[in-house]
Structure formats: structure tokens, C-alpha cells
């Protein structure tokens, strides 16, 4: 793959089954996983270990995933003036 080509990904889907009450009953839930290709990870490195808001929409047969870092509550560099 050359650098000009867009990387392709696969959306992984799996079902997890767990038993409880010593195997008498089971419950199941689904998970989805989207790996991020290595050539795109540099764009996300500044947001690692942050909680991101996610919005997924479908437009013209395309899936658009928007990750928003949201508000950060950092202290200001200078304290506010006392009145």
C-alpha cells in the first residue's frame, strides 16, 4: 500500500456469553471494535487517555465517526483578580 491510498478497516463484532449461578443461567452481550490503522494513529496521539464524546452518523452511504474531546477543566495560567 502506498501512502496515497486510504487504509481500509474491518468492523469486528462479537457476542460474549457469561454464565452465572454456577452455570444455571447465562447472559449475553454484544461488542464492536474498530481498529485504527498505524498511519492514522499519529493524529490521535494527543488525545490518548482522554474521554471522548462520540457521534456516528450515516451520510450518502458513508459512515461518519466524530470524536469530540469536549470540555477540559484546566486551571488558568494566571489566577483571577481578587475584588
- pLDDT of 1 > 80? The answer is no
- 80/60: higher pLDDT: 60
Give yes or no for residue 77 having a pLDDT over 80: no
Residue 28 has φ and ψ, to the nearest 5°, of -140, 145
79 versus 66: the higher-pLDDT residue is: 66
Q: Which helix (H) or strand (E) holds 16?
A: strand 12-20
d(CA 16, CA 18): 7
pLDDT digits (tens, 9 = 90+) for 28-63: 999 999 999 998 889 888 888 888 899 999 999 999
Q: Which three cell numbers stand for residue 34?
A: 474498530
Amino acid at each position: 500500500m502506498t501512502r496515497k491510498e486510504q487504509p481500509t478497516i474491518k468492523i469486528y463484532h462479537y457476542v460474549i456469553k457469561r454464565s452465572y449461578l454456577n452455570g444455571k443461567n447465562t447472559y449475553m452481550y454484544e461488542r464492536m471494535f474498530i481498529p485504527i490503522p498505524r498511519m492514522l494513529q499519529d493524529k490521535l496521539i494527543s488525545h490518548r487517555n482522554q474521554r471522548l464524546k462520540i457521534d456516528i452518523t450515516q451520510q450518502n452511504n458513508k459512515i461518519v465517526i466524530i470524536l469530540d474531546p469536549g470540555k477540559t477543566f484546566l486551571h488558568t495560567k494566571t489566577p483571577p483578580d481578587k475584588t
